[in-house]
Structure 1
Amino acid sequence: MMKIDILSLFPEMFEGVLHSSILKKAAEKGKVEYNVVNFREYAEGKHKTVDDYPYGGGAGMVLKPQPVFDAIEQAKASSPSPAPRVILMCPQGERYSQKKAEELAAEQHLIFICGHYEGYDERIREQLVTDEISIGDFVLTGGELAAMVITDSVVRLLPDVLGNEESPVLDSFSSGLLEHPHYTRPAEFRGLKVPEVLLSGNHRLIEEWREQESLRRTWERRPDLLEDYPLSNQQKKWLTEWEKERDS
């Protein structure tokens, strides 16, 4: 079972997310245990202050090291892993990807630090953190939403969490390509028909169509994903044909 600790000043933000849909079912199946901690509880002093002015001056407040250090030490004390991954939600971090999600899904224990204010005391980053992750080149009020995104993307990859074992394998980005189009009943809706090949019952042709459409969608929408993708001879042939059609 995976354990996920989340350090946040606003733990109430996670109530709906962790107790709904796949994340809730994963916990009910005993595949994951969530523990959301308000690290303000670890702050010293009467007022439980977690931030202070930055040395050297400047705008904004900085998270103090003491509450975060103590909260992390407490989380590690009951860790199922000798080396849990401590993940800092940070706009300066590594851009998040499906490959990273798959890497984290193999771990026993993840600890997320959700920051606020201007930033973190650098000693948190230097001494506690194993991974710094950003979910995109934009600014959020805090790290909570980013931690939710990563938690969702990781937990759905855990064994037996999804009903269909092939689902996470066939998702966009898991194979290196975007996912192919999907259709369901009725076979015709407002004059719009499902591709005949999907109704044929010929599994070989269906798989070939899906492979082709996955490649086509990636080529049209995210050609950057193809730069390092190991194309087969057939896939190279399809790309050549589409490029000729586009240029004609």
Structure 2
Amino acid sequence: MTFETLSVFPEVFEPYLGVSVLGRARRAGVFDFVAHDLRDWTHDRHRTVDDAPFGGGQGMLMKPEPIFEAVEAISSSGERPHVVFFSPCGRRFDQRCAERLARERRVLLVCGRYEGMDERCYALADEVLSLGDYVLTGGELAALTVIDAVARLLPGALGDEMSAVDESFSPSGLLEYAQYTRPASFRGMGVPEVLLSGDHARVAAWRRESAIERTARWRPDLLDAADITDEERARALELARERERGTL
């Protein structure tokens, strides 16, 4: 798989994508990455990518000409990429979206800046995503977030192929169970006895219950779509009610 970004700050990606899990996966050939500089598609001495909005208003908007030229040029080279733009108007990015994008062979992430883009630019997008109801200085952090979430789902990225399966939101829709490491006792707080028992069946059952309890406590909104039994759902709803009453 190949990730590509289009940005006025292409240098910001390499430090993050060159280290830790993503750095190892990239060096192992699990995925490729290319950062494109939007200014390469400008035609004036100042390499201008922004201009004042029609009708007045604060700030500057990204011009359509460089973005259209860039996306079209990049798309014409090799297999056409799946083109992603970012906007508060976009679909909320989540784990299911990451899983879907992981099936693409080539993804181009277009990063906005300033007060946003000329609205006509969105005609180039296959989809528009949003990380949440807040405003970032630019789309580079959003692009890195998408790359991180998607790349770790690719075969070979994590080494242990079950690592991604056990994480929050995959595949059960629940938050991940609570986890502990040494020491077994820390400042009066102990590790649940079952985790020290060596009984794998009991540990698995405890982890399932822990995942349901944590979801009910922290993200009860996830319970409706979670892959749980009727009995587990009833227990989860009771935990959610206890949380609302302040007794959990």
TM-score of the aligned structures, taking structure 1 as reference length: 0.91
Does the residue aligned with 1:91 lie in a helix, a strand or coil? strand
Inter-partner Cα distance in structure 1 for 2:175 and 2:230: 19
Tell me what 1:72 maps to.
71
CA RMSD of aligned residues (A): 1.9
How do 1:11-90 residues align onto structure 2 when only pairs under 5 Å count? 11-79=10-78, 81-82=79-80, 84-90=81-87
How many Å separate the matches in 1 of 2:217 and 2:209? Answer: 12
1:165 to 151, 156, 161: 161
Match of 1:227 in 2: 224
Q: Which runs of 5+ in 1 are unaligned?
A: none
**Post-superposition shift, 1:74?**
2.3
Which amino acid is 1:166 matched to? M
TM-score (norm 2): 0.91
Give 1:237 shift.
4.8
The amino acid across from 2:51 in the alignment is D
Shift of 1:184: 1.7
Residue of structure 2 equivalent to 1:102? 99
Question: Counterpart of 2:163 in structure 1: which amino acid?
Answer: S
Instruction: Please list every run of 5 or more consecutive structure 2 residues that lacks an aligned counterpart in the other structure.
Output: none
Where does 1:110-189 land on structure 2 (aligned, <5 Å)?
A: 110-126=107-123, 128-174=124-170, 175-189=172-186
In 1, Cα distance between equivalents of 2:125 and 2:17: 23
Alpha-carbon distance, 1:121 to partner: 1.6
- Identity over the aligned pairs, expressed in percent? 46
The answer to which of 180-189 and 96-105 deviates more is 180-189
Larger mean CA deviation between 193-202 and 162-171 belongs to 193-202
Q: 1:55 to 1:240 in 2, by over 3 A?
A: closer
Alpha-carbon distance in 1 for matches of 2:234, 2:87: 42
Amino acid in structure 2 at the alignment position of 1:141: T
C-alpha deviation, 1:73, in angstroms: 2.0
Structure 1 residue 239 and structure 2 residue 236: aligned?
A: yes
Query: Matches of 1:193 and 1:54 in 2, distance apart?
Result: 59
Q: Secondary structure at the match of 2:75?
A: helix
Counterpart-to-counterpart distance in 1, 2:184 and 2:85: 47
Retained in 1: the 8 A contact 2:223–2:233?
A: no
Change (3 A) 1:154 1:243: closer
- Name the count of aligned residue pairs: 244
Distance of 1:32 and 1:244 partners within structure 2: 44
Q: Which moved more, 1:23-32 or 1:208-217?
A: 23-32
- Paired with 1:155 and 1:230, the residues of 2 have a C-alpha distance of 24
Question: Residue 130 of structure 1: CA displacement?
Answer: 0.8
- Read off the aligned partner of 1:62 and give its amino acid letter: L
Residue 206 in structure 1 maps to residue 215 in structure 2:
no
- Name the CA distance, whole Å, in 1 between partners of 2:111 and 2:184: 47
CA shift in 2, pair 1:200/1:116, >3 Å:
same
